[in-house]
Structure 1
Amino acid sequence: MRTIFALWKRNIRGFVRDRVKLIISLIIPFFFLYIFSSIFETEQVENPQAFMLAGIIIATVFQTSLNIATSTIDDTVSGFMKEILVSPASRFQVALGQLLSAATIATAQGILILVIGLFTGLRFDHWQTILYALVAMILVGLVFSGLGLFLASMVKSSSTFQIVQQAVVLPFTFLSGAYIPISFLPKVLRIVSYFNPMTYTTAFFRTILLEKGDLSQAAWVKLGLAFDFNGFIVTPWMSGIVIAIFGILFLYLATNSFVHADFNKISRDTASTK
């Protein structure tokens, strides 16, 4: 338990001290809000800015949670990870500390954007919505930090990971409905988006944040919060189940690959690329 807390505390301190990165990460989402909010201006959407902001918040949580891979690789190259792994602490505890810190940082950034969003048109009718949104952000942070740690355990160098990260982040976010409605996509990309876990994550979180949980299935489909597969409607609450399934898969892959990863080999390969 001490190892988990120590790693969590170390990563949180690193996040707080990197003020430039923090400020930029808060500015960019509102740049997207300014650029893309007009796309959601339809008869069904009452407040396009709030609709867009909900997608931006969960996309930020997703992208931030993936950064666990960057910190893990940096720790490996610097030798810190090797020192931790030769200690009596188990690799599972180390992995858990990394996952929890990534989920905490991702949730913190989501909360910061949410607070700023209150000044841009985001409103709540029920105070419980904030609590539900907080729980959802924590769960999403855990799910995708698992994906990030899995990628960190699989790549051979930091330069390779930068390519892998972009290959994951761009399609996952832009084919999720967070920035561009799925109905606007070509048919082929629409089909691809249905295999994207972020699609269901965005729909689920947007339903919570905009308090649209009591709508009819037809209204959900029109808003892009539910998906019609030849008459079978995947509701936002079913999307929550889909997220849980992906979460179990990602966390299993992350812990299993981290336990068996050869971090000495990653360090040597990275050094040879310099």
Structure 2
Amino acid sequence: MDLAEMKHCLNTVYTLWLREMLRYKRSRSRIIGSLATPLFFLIIMGSALGSAMTLSSGRYIDYMAPGIIGMSVLFSSLMGGVSIIWDREFGFLKEILVAPVSRIFTALGKATGGVTAAMIQGTLLMFISGYIGVNYISIPGQLFCILIMFIMGLGFIGMGMALASRIDSHEGFQMVMTFLTFPMLMASTAFYPMDNLPSWLGVPVRLNPLTYGIEAMRWSLLGVSEVPIMTSLLVITIFSSAMIILGSWSFDRAGDK
């Protein structure tokens, strides 16, 4: 690939990223809803369960905050796949897939747009949580947490793209998302420590990539984690790489239908 072709491919990525950002900016209900639900969980559940749970690492609301941020990134990234269904329905998907540019770059443009939206929501939630009383250890830790959101978001947007490329209706996609997101969320360390789990539940929690993303954010924000930070980073990096490859391949195949 020569310099002119690379520039054209990067322009394609930027154009699709900008399109996703404009769509996100215009959807105010999506922005408000994506913040309201996690904050409801954090404030209500954090206060209610905090009075009943005792953690050696500190307050329960502090422990819960990274899990709520992870929940927001999970939901936002997976729902990024909806744009593929919309684009297929209105014919835009065929138009961009016949463009003289590799479909890998086309998929990358849509993925970066979805990940950016997820990062914005996660970052806003992180700052709002700090404002309402969650104690973070440092500003560099918060910046590192944003990087972790990016890595996590890539993995889940790749998963969302892979699923959306094979699902023809919004209703079917919503059903699959509900089937995936809540089991992944509950079978993670978002709401409870890994050491307190029964043995039968410990296995899916340790196999869940969301667990390692949340533990990495918990380490960066609170300085504590049940999983070594290098292990968490390795797992979410491998997971994200695999999902982006799968999502790009599925996106490519979707254009051949």
What TM-score does the superposition give when structure 1 sets the normalisation length? 0.83
Report what 1:216 is aligned to. Answer: none
| Structure 1 residues 185 and 35: alpha-carbon distance in aligned structure 2, compared to 1, 3 A threshold | farther
Amino acid at match of 1:242: V
The answer on whether the counterparts of 1:69 and 1:152 sit within 8 Å (CA) in structure 2 is yes
Alignment deviations for residues 204-230 of structure 1 (CA, whole Å, 9 cap, x no partner) = 111111123xxxxxxx5xxxx23xxxx
Amino acid at match of 1:163: M
Question: Is 1:102 paired with 2:95?
Answer: no
Match of 2:49 among 22, 27, 39: 39
Report what 1:78 is aligned to. Answer: 90
Give the SS at the match of 1:176.
Answer: coil
Report what 1:268 is aligned to. Answer: none
2:181 & 2:66 partners in 1: Cα distance?
Answer: 18
2:136 & 2:42 partners in 1: Cα distance?
Answer: 19
The answer on whether the counterparts of 2:85 and 2:168 sit within 8 Å (CA) in structure 1 is no
2:98 & 2:177 partners in 1: Cα distance?
Answer: 28
Compute the displacement of 1:186 (Å): 4.3
| Structure 1 residues 187 and 124: alpha-carbon distance in aligned structure 2, compared to 1, 3 A threshold | closer
Matches within 5 A, 1:101-140: 101-140=113-152
The answer on whether the counterparts of 2:97 and 2:103 sit within 8 Å (CA) in structure 1 is yes
What TM-score does the superposition give when structure 2 sets the normalisation length? 0.88
The answer on whether the counterparts of 2:17 and 2:110 sit within 8 Å (CA) in structure 1 is yes
Question: Is 1:236 paired with 2:229?
Answer: yes
Give the SS at the match of 2:112.
Answer: helix
Give the SS at the match of 1:143.
Answer: helix
Q: How many residues align?
A: 245
Give the SS at the match of 1:66.
Answer: helix
Question: Is 1:248 paired with 2:241?
Answer: yes
1:263 & 1:155 partners in 2: Cα distance?
Answer: 14
Match of 2:168 among 156, 161, 181: 156
Identical pairs, percent? 33
Give the SS at the match of 1:167.
Answer: helix
Compute the displacement of 1:189 (Å): 2.5
- State the Cα RMSD in Å: 1.8
Report what 1:259 is aligned to. Answer: 252
Report what 2:24 is aligned to. Answer: 15
Compute the displacement of 1:65 (Å): 0.8
